[in-house]
Amino acid sequence: MNRPKRMLLENIAWARETAHADAQFFPRLAQGQSPKVLWIGCADSRVPAETVTNANPGDLFVHRNIANLFSPSDDNTLSVLEYAVRVLKVDHVIVCGHYGCGGVRASLLPKSSDLPHVNRRIAPLCALGERHRHELDSFGELDARANRLAELNVLEQVRLLREHAIVREHDVPPRVHGWIFGLHDGLIKVLASGYAEESESRDIASAQVTSLRAA
């Protein structure tokens, strides 16, 4: 059986199981969406937003691209942000990067002539790496430098989002958070909280307590 065929069969199984578990699930979905969170993540197949946060259809408005970049000159990203903030009125914008990111790693390597679009896309990342070259060099190996740049990249996207007029000038601006996902343990680390009054460590601690309570 080819892969698309198998995926369609899996879809039928999922739809049946979901409807069986909650008969009102699809009727509710069909009525409309009111997600509270805009998720800006990496296109990497290993970091699916809903799966890693135990979320359901309808919970997250999602934009994913290579290296979870918010580009103020890109209509694709901007239209998603505009709709999320002005129409859906999300309370939170979460930028979630991840360690072991191929896009971030590529920005530290010589450019491949086969990937002109990727090269153009990650140009801001290359510039960010240059700005932090001294710090990155102290991390030694490429993978360690790329992981530190992945963190700096999340913080940079958070800064750009917080400064953007769509966020800043909204009646009630959404809180912008910066997270990073660990492929080795599946856990998310908070790099920047949208709750200024809370320390990052308290955020992490309370998240762990909550998940323990839910377990």
Residue ranges of the binding site for Zn(2+): 42, 44, 98, 101
Could you tell me the smallest distance in angstroms from the CB atom of residue 53 to Zn ion? 17
42 in active site: yes
Helical H runs in 71-132?
Answer: 75-82, 102-106, 116-121, 123-131
Could you tell me the smallest distance in angstroms from the CB atom of residue 12 to Zn ion? 31
Catalytic residue among 6, 16, 28, 46: 46
Compare residues 102 and 173 and give the one whose CB is closer to Zn ion.
102
The helix or strand, by DSSP H or E, that contains position 97, with its residue range, turns out to be strand 92-98
Could you tell me the smallest distance in angstroms from the CB atom of residue 122 to Zn ion? 10
Q: Which residues bind Zn ion (CB under 5 A)?
A: 42, 44, 101, 103
Asked if 201 contacts 193 with a C-beta cutoff of 8 angstroms, the reply is no
Compare residues 39 and 166 and give the one whose CB is closer to Zn ion.
39
DSSP label of 14:
H
Residue written as token pair 């430098």: 145
Could you tell me the smallest distance in angstroms from the CB atom of residue 43 to Zn ion? 7
Compare residues 103 and 124 and give the one whose CB is closer to Zn ion.
103
Compare residues 68 and 193 and give the one whose CB is closer to Zn ion.
68
Asked if 70 contacts 167 with a C-beta cutoff of 8 angstroms, the reply is no
96 in active site: no
Strands 60-65 and 92-98: unpaired
Catalytic residue among 63, 98, 145, 177: 98
Catalytic residue among 63, 101, 121, 145: 101
Asked if 158 contacts 194 with a C-beta cutoff of 8 angstroms, the reply is no
156-173 burial, b at 16+ Cβ within 10 Å, e below that, comes to bbbebbbebebbeeeeee
Hey, which residues are catalytic here?
A: 42, 44, 46, 98, 101
